[in-house]
Every structure is written in C-alpha cells, then in structure tokens.
Structure 1
Amino acid sequence: MFFPDLTTDRLVLRPWPAEEAAVAAAGERCPHWAADFPGEADRMIAGRLTREPERPHGHYLMIERDTGLAVGGIGLKWPPTAGAVEFGYGVAPSRRCRGYTTEAVRALVAYALTAPCVDVVYATVDPANRPSVRVLEKAGLRRDGTVHGDEGLLHRYVLTAAELTGR
C-alpha cells in the first residue's frame, strides 16, 4: 500500500523514511527534529521499522508546517485485521496542548478509512490518560468497550467508515 503525505492546517504527516527511523533507533537525532523528539516510544517504533524495512507500515512523522520540524509520530498498525486497523500517536512534550495530535488523528483516520480493506479504525488508551482520551473524543471517535492490554484495562475508541461519511 502507498502511504502519501497528509496535509492539515498546521501539519504535514510524512511517511517515516527508513533512514530516519534508523537514526532514531540508534538513539541519535536528525537536525530537522524538535529538540525533544523522538521520545522513548518513537525510538521503539523506529526500531521495529528498521527490522522490517520492506513491510508497509503506515507510520508518519508529524511535521510542523511553520518550522519544518518533526514534532511527533502517528501511525497505523498495518496491515488491517478483519477490516479493522489500529493506530497510535505521540507528540513531543514541547508541542502538547496545541491541538496537533487531534489534527493528526483526524487526518490519519480519514485517510485510513479510504483504504478498500478498512471499515473500522481504532485506538486503545489508558482511561487515566485524560489528555489522550480527549484527543480521541475531539477527533470524533467513540468509546466502544474495553480491552486487556500490556498496561492493564484499556478503553477502545473507534470510528467506522459509515460514521465518517455520515457526518
């Protein structure tokens, strides 16, 4: 699957190049990254990307349009399973509380739901992580039960293709 750049009002979501993922996985930084990016979770994801470079992955860098700096990451856990694809995200602490994550989630979810094999997009979140819960709610996802994850009981938030087009 081809993953194009996705442009929002303030961000460009650009597929994470293998060379840059290798830099992050090695614990290094690129000059066009915000000073506090990547975080530990980003480095973990980058490590996965470098171990399977030929596999389509759907992971993007969040690029701030005003500065050109990478300020976060967002990605699809590709490939979908039974018509559903999970996504996850993170933004550098210096760029939190600006609405960037909500903006990125809206763009990624809308894009994912255009794939012919995707009917549902979902994310899981620790209910104690109120900022992340709020991101998902503001992006239009609805709570759809709970699941057991590595971190304990998580809330599942979903958006279907029918819900997106019915707005």
Structure 2
Amino acid sequence: MSISDLTTDRLVLRPWPAEEAAAVVAGERRPHWAADYPTDGDRVIAGIIAGHPEQPHGHRLIIERETGLTVGAIGLKWPPTDGAVEFGYGLAASRRCRGYTTEAVRALVAHARTLPGVTLVYATVDPANVPSVRVLEKAGLRRDGTVDSDEGLLHRYVAG
C-alpha cells in the first residue's frame, strides 16, 4: 500500500513514520508536537507501528498547516476485511472544536474509497461519545447498525 500525504485546507495527513512512533512509545518529546500530543490513543497506535515497522500501515499524523505541529492521528485499520476497512482517529484536546477532526475524516474516507479492494469505509463509536458521533455525522457518514465489541455495544457509521 503506497501512502502519501493528504492535504486539506488546514491540515496535512502525513504517513506516520516508524521513528516517530518509536519516539511516542519511548516517551520522548519532539519540538514539532503540540504540547498535549501524544494522547493515550496515539501511544497505543504508535506501539503497533513501532512493533511492526516492516508492515504497511494506513496510520497518519494530523499536522496543523498553520503551525506545522502534530496535533493528532487518524488511520485505516489495514488491511481491509472482505472489502471493508475501518478507521479511527484522535485529536489533542487543545485542537478540538475547530472542525479539524471532521476535515481529517472527510479526507481519509475520500482517499480510502480510491484504494484497490476497498468497497466499504466505516468507523465504530461508543454512542455515549457524542462529540465523536457528531464528527462522523458532519463528515457525511450514516449509522447503519450496532457492533458488539470488547468495549460493549458500539454504533457503526459508514461512508455513503
């Protein structure tokens, strides 16, 4: 899977290099990270990337174009299963409520729909996580069911 930058009006979604993931796992600070990046979710994903640097991953750093700071991450859970690929995201608290996550989701979903073998793009979310539900709805996804997971019942949202 070839991974290149995705650019939106205010963001760059850049492939997450293994050395950046290793820095997150090691607890290092980089000058190009927002003060409240990485989040706990970023640390989990960084561990996956750092543990398997030879495998292609659909994970990207969310970089604020205005400042050049890494403010979050978004990614595809690669490879697709029966044509379906799930995505997830997280944003530093200091950058929330600016529409960044919705912008990033729209860009990643549009990109995912162009990838060979992908016929469905979706996300799952705890229905109690109202801000995340709102992001998915504003990005144009629609709820199409419920998924039973280790985290309980999640709602599944699919790209239209």
Q: Which amino acid aligns with 2:73?
A: G
Deviation of 1:29 after TM superposition, in Å, equals 1.9
Q: What is the aligned partner in structure 2 of residue 100 from structure 1?
A: 100
Shift of 1:33: 0.4
Residues 35-65 of structure 1 show CA distances to partners (whole Å, capped at 9, x for unaligned) of 0000111011101101110111110000000
Q: Which runs of 5+ in 2 are unaligned?
A: none
Does residue 149 in structure 1 map to residue 143 in structure 2?
no
The correspondence of residues 23-38 of structure 1 with structure 2, limited to 5 A, is: 23-38=23-38
For 1:1-167, what aligned pairs fall within 5 Å after superposition?
1-159=1-159, 163=160
- TM-score, normalised by the number of residues in structure 1: 0.94
Q: C-alpha offsets along residues 102-160 of structure 1, whole Å, 9 cap, x if unaligned?
A: 0000000000000121010000000000000000000010101000122110000001x
Q: Which structure shows the bigger proportion of residues in strand conformation? A: 2
Measure the CA separation in 2 of the matches of 1:103 and 1:111. Answer: 13
Between the two proteins, the alignment pairs up a number of residues equal to 160
**TM-score for both structures, normalised by structure 2:** 0.98
2-structure distance, mates of 1:27, 1:121: 32
Identity of aligned residues (%): 77
Letter paired with 2:141: L
Specify every segment of 5 or more residues in structure 1 that has no aligned partner in the other structure, as ranges. none
The DSSP-based 3-state class of the residue aligned with 1:89 is strand
Runs of 4+ in 1 over 6 A off after TM superposition: none
Contact 1:29 1:38 in 2 (8 A): no
